[in-house]
Amino acid sequence: MQPVEALRQTEFFQDFDDRHFDKLMEISRLVEYPARATLFHQYDVAKDVFVVVSGKVSLATCSGQLGCRQMMEVGPGELLGWSPLLARPRLSDTASTLTPVTAMAFDGQQLLAYCAEDTTFGFEFMRRVAEVLAQRLSATRLRLLEMSGMRLPEVQVESD
């Protein structure tokens, strides 16, 4: 499968106009990693933004005293390494492959510049980034509760 077709099929990029994919291909590259490889380390300089095309990636928080603790897994169609989109200079997690992984790596500065240049695309793209961050925040909160020995009851909550 060609990189542009792989990207089009991800949930994150569904329904974007075709004209955006030409620009996205200019500022990205297809990357492949074997199982148990590291995409980036916590506190590395934030440069690339990744969308997983295939495979699974572990996102872990690391501490010198406690080692690394997996917070969640991400898979096909999911975004990781989002720090450059928010002008954060450093990455907040360590990302390691659990299986062989194929991903699209976007230059974060160029992607952010494109969002500013084409505000219709930029608004929708950043709305989707915000959605990812909200999901990650909720998942991290639940994971921290589990790690502390607490469990919340399974209750369906309506969104605002």
pLDDT in tens, the chain (160 residues): 687 888 888 888 988 998 999 999 999 999 999 999 999 999 999 999 999 999 999 999 888 787 888 888 999 989 999 999 998 999 989 999 999 999 999 999 999 999 999 999 999 999 999 998 888 788 777 777 776 776 666 666 565 5
Taking every pair of C-alpha atoms in the chain, what is the biggest distance, in angstroms? 49
Q: What is the pTM of this model?
A: 0.83
Given this structure, which CATH class describes domain 3-144?
mainly beta
Query: What distance in Å separates the CA atoms of residue 27 and residue 144, rounded to the nearest whole number?
Result: 36
What stretches of 28-138 adopt beta strand conformation (E)? 28-33, 38-40, 48-54, 57-63, 67-74, 79-80, 94-97, 101-107
